[in-house]
Amino acid sequence: MRHTVPAGMDRKEAEAYQRLDPARLPRHIAIIMDGNGRWARRRHMPRVAGHRAGVAAVRSTVETAARIGIPALTLYAFSEENWRKRPRTEVDFLMRLLCRFLKAEIKTLNDNNIRLEYIGRKHELPESVQREMEFARDATSTNRGMVLTLALNYSARSEIVDAFRSMAQAAAQNGGLEHLEVSEQLISEHLYTRGLPDPDLVVRTSGEMRLSNFLLWQLAYAEIYVTQTLWPDFRGVQLLEGIEEFQKRERRYGGLGNDHEHAPIRTHVEAKR
């Protein structure tokens, strides 16, 4: 059944969108943006050229997600490990690029009714970067469409550590640790992503098959989609292709699928025959 294509899509995006079921879109998509360095190396360019080219991929992906009505999109922009494993010159360039991006994209975010948020240990970023981050967030705070979250200076393990610290501090101020009852719900309420649904779909570009310390708690039941496309070449149409693959899958959450609903139980011996 054909359905109305959102305004602003090009021909390839429109064709990809027509293959989707708008009633079964992911509520939250998380993307591990990878491949900037390889993109630049294949073109005999410096690594920073790949980062610069990746901005166009962010813009296209964000706009497409907002146009089709995805409630939440989270982009893994800069990890805690990047501080230690990247040359200082590259890190400094990334910080300057981030500031320029935030300044340049406020109008686009507002035009698309997108609210900007951040997760990660933001207080460890340079003060100049923190100021730009706060300015951009405040400038989009009244928008009520998609929530775009940038993971900056982010580590999933650090997030879980910070969550337990927060729970312990709250308990100490409210009757003591002996009254602390830890549950999955309580942990979720103390994560950076509180208020957001857990991602239904995580996309990884450049063909790598790992989560890289990204949203480890929240991705427990997310569908994983890996594309060989390097991040600077990723566009809205590739996002739609990932959603198409997502819609082909049966989400079981640890249960049995429809094909096994009435299947007889087989013993270990029978399975070997």
pLDDT digits (tens, 9 = 90+) for 213-256: 999 999 999 999 999 999 999 999 999 999 999 999 987 666 66
Active-site residue, from 10, 21, 34, 110: 34
List the single range of 17-21, 81-85, 141-145 with lowest mean pLDDT: 81-85
Arithmetic mean of pLDDT, 92-120: 97
Active-site annotation holds for 82: yes
Please pick, among 10, 21, 36, 82, the residue that the annotation labels catalytic.
Answer: 82
CB-count burial class (<10 Å; 0-12, 13-18, 19+) for 183? exposed
Give residue 222's region: left, alpha or beta (phi > 0; psi -120 to 50). Answer: beta
User: Across residues 193-212, what is the average pLDDT?
Assistant: 97
Question: Which pLDDT value is given to residue 255?
Answer: 64
Q: Any catalytic annotation for residue 174?
A: no
Q: What would the two tokens of residue 270 be?
A: 């029978």
Among 267, 271, 30, 6, smallest CA distance to 147 is for: 30
Q: Model-level pTM?
A: 0.90
